[in-house]
């Protein structure tokens, strides 16, 4: 079967859990920015957790179904409607052949995951159906969806409607959002005072926030420890000899605006990094809207691993709830 | 050369082989990456060599970060004993220097450049004491370049000029990055050259453009049928200056599936190279031409 795109939304892409193994040649992981939400949406409609779904940013698409299917919308609070009748988020519902799925305005969060029973059945490229738009790779023709596209959908039995994830198991960023990070990488490049105010300051998500990275502004500029720049690094004190960038790494070009790299990360470059957001908090970044207040919170490796375990337990409880 | 280890969150370990760029640091990064791959450590999902550093991504549910760090330190010791010899390929990349497309782009972003009154080539020639555009092209294309990293975006090679440090072309990045760079632009930032594999943002100086595709996600281009990215770390590039006519002819041949990439397998030995760079480079260029 297929789903016909009437309106594409702002930037709606096909995403699964990503494409590991090619970062060494500059092809990033891609995949859903909020993986917990993506997995939950899939489970609600009876798919495997890693099936391909749609990731819609800020605004939902309008989709016409050519067959009956079960659908669930998770992540951002982007209320769905079937032929104009409201449906719940985080809850499975049926869409009949010929019916249209549309969305109200965004109420909370930034990215909604729309899972359809059977999964979006675009061809897997390098082992994944995720879209990497910068490289025109994977997903639906390597790009965001457009009006007139016919999205292929796989065969799925489809779970029954009305299955829901309890509210306490839906994770969302607080206000201000707290992003836990492990200092490191080139942390030694900034002064002790700069290190202190980096954590004290309230930052705001800049409009330049996408799948490649999230930029923050509003905090005080970071002062550098003076040094003679190493050969090949470039003249700015924030430059390093071009190196690999970890997912979640926080680079601060010129010492002014931190950028946290995400699932479509550029794999390397010449800017120093102060550390890395821990894996347990990466999902939260995908739900931050521009102008949202955020703080960076220093943690130890032990705390990072504990947070990761807590995140895994949350997912286990979510699975058990279905 | 002092190796420095750092965790990149709970899923990465970053290994800086040296703070500054050198072929020695690159070889250390490459041999460590090769050794990590060979060790088949459970839980490792990405192994990324870079210019003078490398990075491993792993699943901390499978291997604890501290255990991963221990593995890497043991591998560093073994890799230090590896001979700096690799099997490599020398690849000829034709370049139309001073082309109309990068020229149009660099004029559009002139206010973001160090010297708004000259072009990127003129500026770089001047600060490197080269004799104008012609002198620049001679210096840039006269020696081979080493692929010391692939990344930033899909398939983009970072290139290190195979000459003494004092003869290496150096040029700063734009004061503020451009929002646009033509696909297949031959660029330069710091001591590194590059070829932009896709159109997009960039901060490197722009010198020219190649008609030879280096990334094709659809794998329709003949020399990209086996894999969608042409370059891998350790490749050697020879720039061949071409005129507009040859550019158009090559682009048309690529389009028709008739272009054949000029490429030869070679062995690169860093110790031999260091003994006589010019002589070694002449031999490499000779190998490309079947001599």
pTM of the complete model: 0.96
Q: Which of residues 2-61 of B touch A (CB under 8 A)?
A: 6-12, 14, 16, 18-22, 33, 45-55, 57, 60-61
At B76, the pLDDT band (50, 70, 90 cuts) reads: very high
Whether residue A280 sits in one domain with residue A160: no
Q: A246-258: buried (b, 16+ CB within 10 Å) or exposed (e) per residue? A: bbbbbbbbebebb
* CB neighbours of residue A190 within 10 Å: 23
Q: Is the pLDDT of residue A310 over 80?
A: yes
pLDDT at B79: 84
- Whether residues A274 and A299 share a domain: the answer is yes
Question: Do B128 and B256 reside in the same domain of the chain?
Answer: yes
By percentage, how much of chain B surpasses pLDDT 90?
Answer: 92
Q: Tell me: do B122 and B242 sit in the same domain.
A: yes
Q: What pLDDT band is residue A203 in, cutting at 50, 70 and 90?
A: very high
Last residue of a domain, one of A143, A166, A189: A166
Given a contact cutoff of 8 angstroms between Cβ atoms, the answer to whether B99 and B247 are in contact is yes
Indicate the residue among A139, A166, A193 that finishes a domain: A166
* E strands in chain A: 2-7, 13-15, 53-57, 62-65, 69-77, 80-82, 85-86, 93-95, 100-103, 108-116, 150-152, 177-183, 203-209, 213-217, 239-244, 249-251, 259-261, 268-271, 273-277, 293-298
Do B65 and B148 belong to one domain?
no
Distance, in Å, from the CA atom of A192 to the CA atom of B220, rounded to the nearest integer, reads 53
B187 shares its domain with B60: no
Do the Cβ atoms of A244 and B33 come within 8 Å?
no
Average pLDDT in the B40-61 region?
Answer: 98
Phi/psi at B35 (5° precision): -65, -40
Which of A20, A23, A24, A261 to mutate against chain B (most B CBs within 10 Å)? A24
Asked whether residue A171 is assigned to any structural domain, the reply reads no
What digits encode the pLDDT tens for the residues A26-44? 999 999 999 999 999 999 9
- pLDDT over threshold 70, residue A253: yes
| CATH assignment of the domain containing B217 | 2.40.100.10
Total domains in chain B come to 2
- Same domain, yes or no: B183 and B239: yes
Helix (H, G, I), strand (E, B) or coil at B244: helix
Q: What is the DSSP letter of B80?
A: H
| Number of independent structural domains in chain A | 2
Dump pLDDT digits (tens) for B136-195. Answer: 999 999 999 999 999 999 999 999 999 999 999 999 989 888 999 999 999 999 999 999
A242 interaction partners in chain B (CB closer than 8 Å): 50-51, 149, 152, 158, 190, 192
Q: Quick check: is A258 in a domain?
A: yes
Q: How far is CA A238 from CA A186, A223, B6, in A?
A: 10, 10, 18
More confident residue, A46 or B82: A46
pLDDT band of residue B1 (cuts 50, 70, 90) is: confident
pLDDT above 80 (res A157): no
Q: Which two tokens stand for residue A101?
A: 């799925």
pLDDT number for residue A235: 85
Q: Please, is B243 exposed, middle or buried when counting C-beta atoms within 10 Å of its C-beta (0-12, 13-18, 19+)? A: exposed
Residue A280 counted as domain residue = yes
pLDDT (mean) for B118-133 = 97
Q: Whole-number mean pLDDT of chain A?
A: 96
Name the band, by pLDDT with cuts 50, 70 and 90, for residue B78: confident
Do A205 and A185 belong to one domain?
yes
> Which residues on chain B are in Cβ contact (under 8 Å) with A300?
none
Assess if residue A172 is contained within a domain.
Answer: no
Asked whether residue A187 falls in the same domain as residue A143, the answer is: no
Asked if A213 and B201 touch (Cβ cutoff 8 Å), the reply is no
Please name the helix (run of DSSP H) or strand (run of DSSP E) that holds residue B92, with its range, or none. strand B85-97
- Structural domain harbouring A189: 177-318
| Residue A34: inside a domain | yes
Task: Please state, in angstroms and as integers, the Cα–Cα distance from residue B211 to each residue in A262, B72, B97, following that order.
Answer: 32, 41, 11
Task: Determine, for residues A305 and B49 on separate chains, whether the beta-carbon distance falls below 8 Å.
Answer: no
- Quick one: angle between helices B23-39 and B65-80, nearest 10? 120
Average pLDDT over residues A305-319: 97
Interface contact A24-B151, CB threshold 8 A = yes
Neighbours of B253 (CB within 10 A): 15
User: What is the number of helices (H) and of strands (E) in chain A?
Assistant: 4, 20
What percent of chain A clears pLDDT 70, i.e. is strictly above it? Answer: 100
B143 with B202: CB under 8 angstroms?
A: no
Which residues pair with residue B202 across a beta bridge?
B178
* pLDDT given for residue B253 in this prediction: 97
Q: By residue range, what is the domain housing residue B64? A: 4-82
Q: Say if residue B35 is in the same domain as residue B157.
A: no
CATH code, A66: 2.60.120
**Same structural domain for residues A81 and A217?**
no
A263 and A148 fall within a common domain:
no
pLDDT in tens, B259-278: 999 999 999 999 999 999 99
Does the N-terminal peptide bond of residue B240 adopt cis geometry, omega within 30 degrees of 0? no
Domain boundary among B61, B82, B103: B82
Same structural domain, B113 and B252: yes
Tell whether A291 is covered by a domain: yes
Residue where a domain stops, chosen among A140, A166, A192 = A166
Domain boundary among B82, B103, B133: B82
- Same domain? B258 vs B128: yes
Q: What is the pLDDT of residues A209-233, one digit of tens each?
A: 999 999 999 999 999 999 999 999 9
User: B197 and B62 in one domain?
Assistant: no
Assess whether A58 and A145 both reside in one domain. yes
**Three-state DSSP class for B33?**
helix
Query: Is A93:A160 a contact under the CB 8 Å cutoff?
Result: no
Same domain as B194, residue B60: no
Q: A290-299 pLDDT, tens per residue?
A: 999 999 999 9
Please state which of the ranges A112-116, A158-162, B179-183 shows the lowest mean pLDDT: A158-162
Does one domain contain both A88 and A229? no
Span A255-261, mean pLDDT? Answer: 96
**A112 lies in some domain:** yes
CATH code, domain with B35: 3.30.1360.40
**Residue B121 and residue B54 share a domain:** no
A155 and A203 in a single domain? The answer is no
pLDDT band at A307 (very low <50, low <70, confident <90, very high): very high
- Domain boundary (B82, B116, B133) is at B82
The alpha-carbon gap from B25 to the nearest alpha carbon of chain A, in Å, equals: 11
Domain CATH code at residue A189? 2.40.100.10
ipTM of the complex: 0.97
pLDDT grade for B291, boundaries at 50, 70 and 90: low
B119 and B150 belong to one structural domain: yes
Asked whether residue A255 carries a pLDDT value surpassing 80, the answer given is: yes
């Amino acid at each position: 079967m297929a789903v016909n795109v009437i309106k594409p939304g702002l930037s709606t892409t096909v995403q699964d859990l990503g494409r590991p193994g090619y970062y060494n040649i500059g092809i990033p992981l891609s995949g859903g920015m909020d993986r917990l939400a993506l997995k939950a949406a899939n489970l609600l409609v009876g798919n495997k957790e890693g099936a391909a779904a749609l990731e819609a940013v800020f605004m939902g698409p309008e989709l016409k179904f050519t067959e009956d299917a079960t659908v669930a919308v998770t992540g951002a609070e982007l209320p769905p409607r079937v032929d104009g009748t409201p449906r719940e988020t985080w809850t499975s519902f049926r869409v009949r052949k010929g019916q249209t799925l549309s969305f109200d305005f965004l109420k909370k969060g930034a990215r909604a995951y729309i899972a359809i029973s059977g999964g979006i059945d675009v061809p897997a490229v390098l082992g994944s159906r995720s879209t990497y738009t910068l490289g025109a790779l994977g997903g639906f023709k390597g790009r965001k969806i457009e009006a007139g596209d016919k999205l292929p959908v796989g065969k799925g039995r489809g779970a029954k409607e009305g299955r829901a994830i309890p509210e306490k198991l839906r994770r969302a960023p607080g206000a201000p959002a707290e992003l836990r990070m492990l200092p490191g990488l080139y942390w030694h490049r900034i002064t002790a005072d700069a290190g202190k105010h980096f954590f004290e300051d309230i930052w705001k998500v800049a409009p330049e926030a996408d799948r490649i990275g999230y930029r923050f502004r509003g905090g005080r500029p970071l002062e550098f420890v003076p040094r003679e720049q190493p050969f090949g690094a470039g003249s700015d004190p924030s430059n390093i000899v071009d190196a690999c960038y970890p997912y979640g790494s926080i680079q601060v070009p010129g010492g002014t605006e931190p950028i946290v790299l995400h699932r479509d990360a550029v794999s390397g470059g010449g800017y120093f990094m102060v550390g890395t957001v821990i894996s347990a908090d990466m999902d939260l970044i995908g739900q931050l809207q521009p102008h949202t207040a955020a703080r960076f919170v220093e943690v130890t490796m032990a705390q990072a691993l504990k947070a990761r375990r807590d995140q895994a337990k949350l997912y286990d409880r979510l699975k058990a709830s279905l | 050369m002092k190796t420095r280890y750092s965790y990149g969150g709970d899923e990465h370990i970053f290994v800086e082989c040296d703070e500054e760029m050198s072929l020695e640091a690159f070889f250390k990064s490459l041999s460590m990456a090769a050794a990590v791959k060979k060790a088949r450590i459970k839980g490792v999902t990405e192994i990324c060599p870079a210019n003078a550093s490398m990075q491993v991504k792993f699943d901390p549910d499978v291997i604890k970060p501290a255990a991963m760090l221990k593995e890497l330190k043991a591998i560093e010791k073994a890799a230090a004993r590896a001979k700096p010899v690799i099997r490599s390929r020398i690849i000829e990349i034709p370049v139309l220097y001073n082309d109309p497309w990068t020229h149009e782009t660099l004029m559009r972003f002139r206010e973001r450049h160090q010297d708004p009154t000259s072009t990127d080539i003129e500026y770089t020639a001047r600060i490197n004491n080269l004799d104008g555009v012609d002198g620049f092209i001679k210096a840039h294309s006269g020696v081979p370049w080493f692929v010391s990293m692939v990344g930033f975006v899909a398939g983009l090679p970072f290139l290190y000029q195979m000459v003494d440090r004092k003869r290496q072309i150096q040029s700063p990045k734009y004061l503020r990055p451009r929002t646009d760079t033509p696909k297949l632009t031959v660029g330069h930032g710091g001591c590194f050259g590059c070829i932009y594999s896709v159109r997009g943002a960039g901060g490197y100086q722009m010198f020219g453009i190649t008609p030879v595709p280096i990334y094709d996600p659809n794998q329709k281009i003949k020399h990209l049928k086996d894999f969608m990215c042409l370059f891998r770390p350790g490749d050697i590039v020879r720039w061949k200056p071409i005129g507009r006519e040859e550019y158009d002819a090559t682009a048309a041949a690529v389009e028709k599936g008739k272009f054949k990439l000029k490429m030869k397998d070679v062995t690169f030995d860093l110790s031999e190279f260091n003994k006589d760079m010019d002589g070694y480079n002449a031999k490499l260029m000779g190998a490309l031409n079947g001599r």
